[in-house]
Amino acid sequence: MMLYIHGFNSSPLSSKAQQLREWLVAQGREAEWVAPALPHDPAQAIALLSRVIETAPTPPKLIGSSLGGFYATYLVSRYQLKAVLLNPAVHPSLLLRPLVGKMQTNWHDASTYLFTTAHLDALSALEQFTPTFPKNLLVLLETGDEVLDWQVAAHYYRQAHQAVFQGGDHSFSRFQDLLELVDRF
> Where does the pLDDT of residue 110 fall: very low under 50, low under 70, confident under 90, or very high at 90 and above?
confident
- CA atoms of 112 and 135, how far apart (whole Å): 37
> Please, are residues 115 and 99 in contact by the beta-carbon 8 Å criterion?
yes
> For residue 108, what pLDDT band results from cuts at 50, 70 and 90?
confident
Look up the pTM and report it: 0.96
* Rounded Cα distance, 28 and 14, in Å: 21
- Residues 167 and 55: their CA atoms lie apart, in Å, by 38
Q: Is the pLDDT of residue 157 over 90?
A: yes
> In this structure, what CATH number is given to the domain that contains residue 95?
3.40.50.1820
Domain that holds residue 92: 2-184
Q: Return the SS3 of 36.
A: coil
Per the structure, the count of domains in the chain is: 1
